[in-house]
Every structure is written in structure tokens, then in C-alpha cells.
Amino acid sequence: MKNMRITPEVDKLMRKGRDFLQCRYPVICGAMTWVSDPKLVAAVCNAGGFACLAGGNTPVEILEKQIAETRRLTSRPFAVNLITIAPAYKSHLELVKRVQLPFIVFAGSFPRGPEVAAAKSSGAKVMCFASTESIAERMIRYGADALILEGSESGGHIGHVALSVLLQQVLFKFSEQLPVFVAGGIATGRMCANMLLMGASGVQLGTRFAVATESCGHARFKDAYLRADARDAVATPQFDSRLPVVSVRALRNKGLQEFGKLQLELLKKLDAGEIHRDQAQMKVEEFWMGALRRAVQDGDVEFGSLMSGQSVGLVDRIQPVAEIIHELLTEIEIELQRARQALA
């Protein structure tokens, strides 16, 4: 499918994000561990969008091969997403500095100032998530080139604030200062259009791309998404502040119940002095990495982790990436035309 011709009005709304990301359309495929592989990333970039290769806790040598493979599949810029709470994080940061990527995204938690500076020293533009106004200010102070606001409606590791509030707290305050991209619960072009009208430089989608034709997800993994409703995507609780865990939104299944049991077991070990808090947190991350791999690669939809945003309720079919982006852009055009008529 060829690049879509867009109207001057849409082009104007997209210009800031497009120029920053060096792509045709500021539609980002978010990094999804085990899903955002070179094939999916390249497909999005080649269709005019922008995508993030998921670092996760991939062994360094494999991530380096994936970066090389992505570069082979597309000549367009892409990002690598680094999970700050992953055991391999520091090694990943050294790798992406060495291979000189155009974009680096920090995720999972929030990077320290020296880590942002190290990424920027490689020539990369740095994008950081901001789940509150104060964190946005801190990331800007550290030198972030752009922010990503991800509401709690999104899938995977999430913050605690809905996108509707983040728009008012962060987007409206900082969108003139630097590019601000928005994510969480977005699956339609009509929603994308209204985010752009509010000042967003672009939008990030995950769940809809997770079931794209080019996604490596197992057929049972994709089918679980297609059958799910928005209310099936639930966030995990934190049982005790002694074991601070980043909430994860995923489809309700037996694997989610197992995570609850794991937290209780780890708390007992903490009480007995059998494990340190850092080790307990590591066990939590290892659980999610393994459970997600089983769901995506093996199709274990019963005990695997089906990380999904609430936008899963809007996903009803498998489509090629180029078709998804074309549909989003068509809907953006239609919504802006409707807005013009409403104001006439």
C-alpha cells in the first residue's frame, strides 16, 4: 500500500511529530516485549510510521543482532526501548550508545540524569515516559528531547494516572516546549485526530499492532485479543509497599492469578528474611518476562501473560500494518472534516 496523500490541515497537525521522528506520519508502534521484533518494527517504519524495537531483557548479543536485522529491513529511523528495571538494562545502554541509534526510549521506570546524558552523548534523541507532571519536569530537566504520556489504560507496565488527566496536567503545559506524544487506550483514527487537535505531536498504539499480520504473536495469542472486551484488560494490584511492583495491565487469566500468589510468597520470604527486596523485585520481572514469552511465542493463553491495553475492546480483526496506518489516517481526515463542519 502506497503512502497516503494527506490534506494540508492534517499535515500541519502532524508536522512537529513528523519532523522530530523523521517519518511520514507520527503514528508510533510502542515497544512490546517479545512482539516488537525487527519484522514488525520495519513494517511500521516502511509504511510511514515509527516504531520501537523492544529491548526487554534480551541478551545483549541478540539485541545487537536484532538492531542489525531491523536496519537491514528498513532504511527508516527507529528507536530501541530500554527497560530501566530489567537486569540487562546497563548492558543495553552501553550497546545502544555503541551502535549509535537515532532514538532511544527509556521505559519501565525513570532514568537517572547521567543515563539520559549518556544516551544523548551517542547522538541519539531521547524519549522518556512521564506519568505525572513532576516526572515530566524532571525528565525535561535531565535533557529528554520528547515525552511520551502513557495513561493507565495502556497495556504492559503502566502508571496510575489516566490519559485524560495526563493530557491536562502535562500535554497542555509542555507541548509548546517539546514534542509530547500520547498513548493509552488509543485504537482509532478519530481518537488520534482529537489528540492532535489538543496539541499532541503524535500518538502511540500498542494493542492494535500486537495483532497485525506482521506481528510474530502466536495465533492463539492474537485470537485472545480479538475475543476480549475492554473490561477483560485488568491491572495487577500491589499487596504491600514492602514489595513495590510496577502495575501490569493484561487480560484476566490463570497466569494473572499466579502472579498474585507469587507476590504473597515473596512477601512471606521477605518477612522471614529469606530474600532481599531487590531480589524479590527481580523475581517479579522474571515472572512477567517468562509468562509473556509463553503467551506470545507458545500460545499459552491460560498461564501466559496477555499484556494488553483496554483498547483491546476496539480491536476486532487482524490487518497488515500498512492497512492499519492507512485506516487511521483516513479516519483522522474524516474527523477533522467533521470538526470543520461543526465550527462552520
Tell me the per-residue pLDDT of 169-227, one tens digit each, with 9 for 90 and over. 999 999 999 999 999 999 999 999 999 999 999 999 999 999 999 999 999 999 999 99
Do 196 and 237 have their domain in common? no
Name the pairing type of β-strands 233-235 and 248-251.
antiparallel
Residue 147 and residue 85 share a domain? yes
For cell 487469566, what's the residue? 253
> What letter would DSSP give residue 311?
G
Taking the C-alpha atoms of residue 166 and residue 90, their distance in angstroms, rounded to an integer, is 29
Judge if 98 and 145 occupy the same domain: yes
Is the separation of the CB atoms in 270 and 277 below 8 Å? yes
Distance CA 122, CA 266 (A): 39
Res 100: pLDDT: 93
3-state secondary structure of 232: helix
Q: Residue written as cell 476480549?
A: 228
C-alpha cell at 212: 497485525
| Cell 508502534 -> residue | 29
Q: Is residue 307 part of a domain?
A: no
Residue 81 lies in a domain: yes
Residue with cell string 492494535: 208
Residue 229: the pLDDT is 97
Task: Indicate if 26 and 82 belong to the same structural domain.
Answer: yes
Cβ atoms of 10 and 332 within 8 Å: the answer is: yes
Is pLDDT at 244 greater than 80 in this prediction?
A: no
In a domain, 237, yes or no: yes
Q: Are residues 286 and 338 in the same domain?
A: no
Whether 125 and 157 map to the same domain: the answer is: yes
pTM > 0.75: yes
Say how many domains are in the chain: 2
Say whether both 150 and 283 belong to one domain: no
Query: Is the residue at 293 inside a domain?
Result: yes
In a domain, 303, yes or no: no
State whether 204 and 149 are in the same domain.
Answer: yes
pLDDT at 199: 97
Instruction: Looking at the structure, tell me whether residues 36 and 128 fall in a common domain.
Output: yes
- Over 90: is that where the pLDDT of 237 sits? no
Q: Are residues 197 and 324 in the same domain?
A: yes
67 occurs within a structural domain: yes
Query: What residues make up the domain containing 99?
Result: 8-217+312-343
CB hemisphere CA count around 41 (13 angstroms): 30
Q: State the average pLDDT over residues 109-115.
A: 92
**Residues 204, 259: one domain?**
no
Q: Is residue 1 part of a domain?
A: no
Q: What is the mean pLDDT of residues 151-169?
A: 93
Task: Write down the pLDDT at residue 1.
Answer: 58
Backbone angles phi, psi at 148, to 5 degrees: -120, 120
SS3 at position 340: helix
In which element (H, E) is residue 36 found? none
**Residue 17 and residue 28: Cα distance in Å, rounded?**
10
Q: Average pLDDT of the chain?
A: 93
